[in-house]
Amino acid sequence: MKPFPHFGKRVIHELDGIWDFAWLGESTDLEALDPTSIGFDRRMPVPSAFDAYPEFAGKRGTVAYRTVVAVTPGKAGIIECGGLGMWNRIYVDGESIAETSAPYSGVKFHVPPAEASFREIIIVSDNRFSRKRVPLQEQYFDFYAYGGIFRSVYWHEIGDRWIKRVNVSTIDLDRREIACQMLLGGSTADMADSTAVSCSVDGAAVEALGVSVDGNEIRFRLILDAASLWTPGAPNLHLLSVTTVGDEITERFGIRTVSAENRQVCVNGVPVKLLGYCRHEAHPQFGPALPIQQLVQDIQLLQDQSCNFVRGAHYPQDPRFLDLCDEAGILVFEESLGWQQNEGHFADPAYCDACEEQTRLMVRNSLNHPSIIVWGFLNEGRSDLVESRPLYTRLVAALREEDTTRLVTFATCHPMDDANLDLVDIICVNNYPGWYSRDREATRPLDEIVPTLDRIRKHMRETQNLADKPFIVSEIGAGAIYGWHDPHRALWTEEYQADHLDIVCREVMENDDIAGVALWQFCDGRTYSSSGALFRPRAFNNKGVLNEYRKPKAAFEVVKRRFGSVV
Ligand code: ADA
């Protein structure tokens, strides 16, 4: 099940399974923690959000996971974690090797060699809120903050030099020409003498053109005359294998370009209307540690509704899900973790650094997924404030520095007075007409939907620097309690949500001025555990078109019919 890239010459130990586990309490002093004194008296799966499990449901505190891996003595290692929750410290043989607080991000840590043939790994995981320790995740967010080891863990055995990654990008569509940038780890001494690269694509040798070596970076180009393009309708994927410095990487990629032209999003120069959902990685029994079976089901549920688009709300996505999107031809908007940050965040250098770091890491981890067409950050931040400008400018610059081949944006909920929309390639607006109604007396405020969208679009058309950018509705929706039916078709019924999304989808599909929509949301998800839940029956965000177990509400068929009517 390992997501790409693969490393064919390495010994890689997949560490998923049942690990030893300990609950260390609600008030552990993390500075004073001694890993050798932990009494491991329980077992817990990896991956797992430990607080999705009945014994620890709703608890906030510290836990420890432990396993032992049999390795080749004398070999260094890389521990690869596909995604962790909140705050974590990793120990190998009792030594702390890393601390990390980039929730949901894939992270890798180098482990020095040892003569032992067994290495003990302990991951101490803490899900307490702390602005200092976990600047990126806070209690006020409208989705539950879980802790633990969300995604698979691997131990790679490596030599003195190794391949970190290869970035593949399409530079000439007609010639099927791709640029490859390889990054190496380890000693760079004598690099130029020993950096022969040999490449194959789909099993056939290909000549690397214009090879250049600079420190631990190797660049070259490939021309793949016979290769087919990746499009949403024909998502052709190719396998690139590169061997150098005694290591081998196999990465999967697609040949395609993304652009914004004539207020449309284009793949390979062809406009594509984006039709889909915002989706949280969420399940009541697993939290965000979703089994592959669920990911495949989610892809099928998207395809069943003729969706070609998913917004990964509101954090870096599971690489297996992105692999599945690559295969299915589903276009992805991936964003770093953010939820309604304000002037306090913008003025906090530690927050801004953490945000930029995770945003860059997201691109590095996901760069080769052809499905990803948009990078984003800071969902619904106070982008109307002048104080936001430095951070928004910085994040846009960071994204463009990491990758020049995709569109950059953020989802704003301040469409009429946003201070940063000139920075982005596409305008993404979150708006809830017909739900968070202006008219508090209205019983079924459905007639707000079209005029509100019209007003926002008119504003964009009439604003300098914004008029030519594609306009996407990056959130819109209404709550419905699964199974709740009522002849009044009132708020919270399945009927109201179905009526609401019917109007939304019709408007999006019939209006050429709207380049796409990500309906809020794919399925219900657990949210606030404190008073915020007073506005969220069951303490779930109930705007899913599926409930949390993926049972369809009435709106499912409505959306399916509308999205499926594209010719
Ligand atoms: C916002 C936010 C979502 C969700 C939504 C809602 O737009 O971006 O995460 O909270 O509102 O349901 O109100």
Residue 109: closest CA among 33, 185, 202: 185
Determine if ligand 1 sits within 6 Å of the CB of residue 541. Answer: yes
In this prediction, residue 428 has a pLDDT band, given cuts at 50, 70 and 90, of: very high
CA distance 255 to 273: 20
Mean pLDDT value across residues 157-166: 96
Report the atom number in ligand 1 closest to the C-alpha of 475: 7
Taking the centre of ligand 1 as the mean of its atom positions, its distance from the CA of residue 423, in whole angstroms, is 23
Q: Is the CB of 430 under 6 A from ligand 1?
A: yes
Q: Is the Cβ atom of 502 under 6 angstroms away from ligand 1?
A: no
Q: What is the distance, to the nearest Å, from the Cα of residue 347 to the centroid of all Cα atoms in its chain?
A: 25
Ligand 1 centre to CA of 142 (Å) is: 7
The mean pLDDT of 34-47, rounded to a whole number, is: 98
Q: Residue 118: what pLDDT?
A: 98
Whether residue 379 has its Cβ less than 6 Å from ligand 1? yes
The answer on pLDDT for 195 being more than 80 is no
**pLDDT band at residue 190 under the 50/70/90 scheme:** low
520 lines ligand 1 (CB under 6 A): yes
pLDDT in tens, 84-101: 999 999 999 999 999 999
Write out the two tokens for 481.
């309690």
Question: Which amino acid does the sequence have at 394?
Answer: R
Atom of ligand 1 nearest to the CA of 411: 8
For residue 205, what are the CA distances in angstroms to 65, 182, 193, 220? 44, 18, 22, 15
What average pLDDT does range 112-133 have in this prediction? 97
In this predicted structure, what is the pLDDT of residue 439? 87
248 lines ligand 1 (CB under 6 A): no
Cβ(475) – ligand 1 distance below 6 Å? yes
Please determine, for residue 82, whether its predicted confidence score (pLDDT) is greater than 70.
yes
- The percent of residues in the chain predicted with pLDDT above 90, rounded, is 96
User: 119 C-alpha vs ligand 1 centroid, how far in Å?
Assistant: 44
Q: Ligand 1, closest atom to CA 436?
A: 13
Instruction: DSSP for 403-469, please give it.
Output: -SSSEE--EES-TTS-SSGGG-SSEEEE--TTTS-S-TT-SSGGGGHHHHHHHHHHHHHTSTTTTTS
143, 472, 541, best to mutate for ligand 1 pocket (most atoms within 8 Å of CB): 541
Mean pLDDT of 478-497: 97
Tell me which residue has its CA closest to atom 4 in ligand 1. Answer: 142
- 458 and 475 in contact (C-beta within 8 Å)? no
pLDDT tens string 354-407: 999 999 999 999 999 999 999 999 999 999 999 999 999 999 999 999 999 999
pLDDT bin (cut points 50, 70, 90) of residue 239 is very high
Strands 42-46 and 17-25: antiparallel
Q: pLDDT (tens digit, 9 = 90+) per residue, 516-532?
A: 999 999 999 999 988 99
What is the average per-residue pLDDT within 308-319? 98
Which residue has the least CA distance to atom 3 on ligand 1? 142
Six token digits for residue 264: 């449309």
Residue 440: predicted pLDDT: 87
**Residue the block writes with tokens 């910085």:** 394
Span from the CA of 118 to the centroid of ligand 1 (angstroms): 47
Q: Which helix (H) or strand (E) holds 355?
A: helix 349-366
Residue 510 Cα, ligand 1 centroid: separation in angstroms? Answer: 25
What would the two tokens of residue 168 be? 């593949």
Residue 554 tokens, joined? 């009435």
CA of 430 to the centre of ligand 1 (A): 8
Q: Which atom of ligand 1 is nearest to the CA of 143?
A: 9
The secondary structure element, H or E, covering residue 495 is: helix 494-510
12-21, 195-204, 274-283: the lowest-pLDDT one: 195-204
Q: Report the separation in Å between the CA atom of 399 and the middle of ligand 1, taken as the mean of its atom positions.
A: 24
> Is 468's pLDDT higher than 90?
yes
d(CA 507, CA 555): 16
Distance 135 CA to ligand 1 centre (A): 20
What pLDDT was estimated at residue 567? 47
Q: Which two tokens stand for residue 275?
A: 């039709």
Q: Can you give the pLDDT at residue 431?
A: 98
How far away, in angstroms, is 11 Cα from ligand 1 center? 43
Instruction: Evaluate the CA torsion angle 220, 328, 203, 172 in order and state its sign.
Output: negative
Q: Tell me which residue has its CA closest to atom 7 in ligand 1.
A: 430
Average pLDDT, the chain: 96
Specify the pLDDT at position 187.
82
pLDDT at position 295 is: 98
pLDDT at residue 193 greater than cutoff 70: no
441, two tokens:
């007396």
Nearest 5 degrees, angle CA 123-CA 127-CA 133?
90
CA of 543, closest atom in ligand 1: 12
